[in-house]
Every structure is written in structure tokens, then in C-alpha cells.
């Protein structure tokens, strides 16, 4: 039975606990990392720095706000990337660990709760905190954006504020953030994907999760999408922005609904 079949039939928590148990920690990444994953040792710090800079950048403009769902979507024009970047923020009545685990299992298993993803293939991993995946987005309403192919490298860091090099799975007692970050890996992984889909790439992107209170549990959630989607030139920018904002809102709402069901 392959990994995809196994994770499909297991529950969310069963899947996470199984993977956490069978995949070893990497005490010495230089010795244990597979040769085709060695490049991640140099990219991790760059992606982390770029992602944190985007999270805390000035100039974010509010695009949509739902007080009922406690979700806000922002956008920012980035001169560095020469494109518009989007950010979703929310508060969840869950522990930071629960939110972090849901995000990580979704990246590994995909389509567990993120209905924006239509197809997914787990490519490879290095320890319990690094992996390569191929994802294809689902068509947007009205097919304004056809499916996009991504080959991404995902990694996670816990307690990033106190020790950005720590790749363990301990809980942050002082409220420092946990992060799941990802970026384009097409230069390192030769995976053809779907020849008929539009090839898209992700810049430094990711999720930041920080505990607000422990009892009752309340967690601050931030997601930054920094992607080159190869947007169609004939569709007005205002329409494309509205579609992307809707997709960002839907992703965050899907995560809220998934955590509520556990």
C-alpha cells in the first residue's frame, strides 16, 4: 500500500501520528539528507527571511473582511516580485499545535480540507519536516483561472521566533510562531506534471501560526500567497483579484471547518 492510499483511508490525527512516528528526526541533516535534497540546507534560511519580511511588510491593503468568520484578506503590490501578493489572517478557537498539524498534513496528504487543490502527488521527503509535492489547483468559478501546476518544496519550523534553526516538533509555550513555508522547486525536481495545465511557480510563501491564549485556546493564523500564476492578459485585473481573494477566503474557511469537525 503506497503513502497516498494509506493517508486517504486514515483520519487526520491517525495520519499525523503515524507519520510523526515512522519518519525520523534529522539530528545531523548534512549526513542524512538525501543527495537530491541537500540544496534545501541553503534555501531554508532565504525562504524563511523572505517569508517573514512579507508577513510584516507595510502597505497591505484590506480586500475582504468577515467579522463572523474572523477572516481578513489583504493584498500588496511587491516591487521585488513585480506582482500582487495576498495575505489571509484569522483567529481560530484551537491550539496552535492543532492548526499547525492540520496545515502540515494538508501539505503532505492534500485535499484533506483544501478544496482549492484538485490533484496532488507526494514526491519525496527528508525527515519529518521537509518534503516535495506536486499540486494542481482546481478550476476557479466560471473557469476564469484554469488549473495551475506547482512543484513545491515544503518545510516547517517550530518556535521560529526563538530559534529559527530548530526543526523539531515541540510546542511554543511563549507564543513564538510556528511556520510552514514553501517555495518553487522546479529547478531541483524533474516532475513533468500535467502537460495541459499552466505551469505556475511559488515565491517564498507560507503559513504562520501563533498562540494567543492557551485556555481557552485561541490561535492567530496568517497565510501569504506569493505565486506567479501566469494570469491571462485578456481578463481585467480587478476580476482576477476578486477571484484570488475569494480563493484565499475559501481556503481559510475550509481550514476552520475542518478543525471544527475534528
- 154-213 confidence digits (pLDDT tens): 988 877 654 434 433 444 565 668 889 899 887 777 777 777 788 888 899 999 998 888
CA distance 228 to 205: 11
CA distance 46 to 128: 20
Of 163, 199, 162, 167, the C-alpha closest to 180 is 167
Q: pTM score, two decimals?
A: 0.82
- 106-123 confidence digits (pLDDT tens): 877 666 788 888 888 888
If one compares 245 and 2, the residue with the highest pLDDT of the two is 245
State the Cα torsion 158-54-110-194 to the nearest 10°. -140
pLDDT at 262 over 60: yes
Among residues of the chain, what percentage have pLDDT more than 70? 79
- The reported pLDDT for the residue numbered 234 is 76
Domains and CATH numbers, the chain: 59-261 (3.30.530.20)
HEC letters along 192-237: CCCCCCEECEECCEEEEEEEEECCCCEEEEEEEECEECCCCCCCCH
Average pLDDT, the chain: 79
pLDDT at 237 over 70: yes
- The reported pLDDT for the residue numbered 87 is 97
Most confidently predicted of 46-55, 138-147, 164-173, 193-202: 46-55
- The reported pLDDT for the residue numbered 25 is 53
The pLDDT of 222-232, averaged and rounded, is: 86
Amino acid at each position: 500500500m503506497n503513502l497516498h492510499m494509506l493517508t486517504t483511508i486514515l483520519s487526520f490525527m491517525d495520519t499525523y501520528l503515524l507519520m510523526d512516528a515512522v519518519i525520523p528526526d534529522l539530528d545531523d541533516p548534512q549526513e542524512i539528507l538525501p543527495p537530491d535534497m541537500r540544496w534545501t540546507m541553503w534555501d531554508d534560511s532565504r525562504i524563511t527571511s523572505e517569508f517573514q519580511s512579507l508577513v510584516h511588510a507595510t502597505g497591505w491593503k484590506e480586500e475582504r473582511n468577515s467579522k463572523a468568520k474572523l477572516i481578513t484578506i489583504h493584498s500588496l503590490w511587491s516591487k521585488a516580485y513585480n506582482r500582487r501578493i495576498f495575505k489571509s489572517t484569522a483567529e481560530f478557537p484551537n491550539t496552535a499545535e492543532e492548526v499547525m498539524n492540520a496545515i502540515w498534513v494538508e501539505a503532505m496528504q492534500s485535499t484533506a480540507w483544501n478544496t482549492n487543490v484538485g490533484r496532488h502527488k507526494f514526491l519525496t521527503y527528508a525527515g519529518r519536516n521537509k518534503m516535495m509535492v506536486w499540486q494542481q489547483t482546481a478550476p476557479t468559478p466560471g473557469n476564469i483561472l484554469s488549473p495551475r501546476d506547482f512543484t513545491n518544496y515544503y518545510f516547517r519550523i517550530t518556535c521560529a521566533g526563538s530559534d529559527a534553526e530548530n526543526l523539531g516538533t515541540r510546542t511554543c509555550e511563549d507564543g513564538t510562531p510556528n511556520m510552514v513555508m514553501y517555495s518553487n522547486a522546479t529547478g531541483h525536481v524533474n516532475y513533468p506534471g500535467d502537460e495541459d495545465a499552466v505551469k505556475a511557480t511559488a515565491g517564498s510563501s507560507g503559513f504562520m501560526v501563533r498562540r494567543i491564549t492557551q485556555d481557552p485556546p485561541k490561535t492567530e493564523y496568517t497565510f501569504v500567497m506569493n505565486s506567479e500564476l501566469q494570469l491571462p492578459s485578456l481578463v481585467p485585473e480587478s476580476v482576477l483579484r476578486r477571484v484570488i481573494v475569494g480563493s484565499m477566503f475559501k481556503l481559510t474557511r475550509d481550514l476552520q471547518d475542518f478543525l471544527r469537525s475534528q
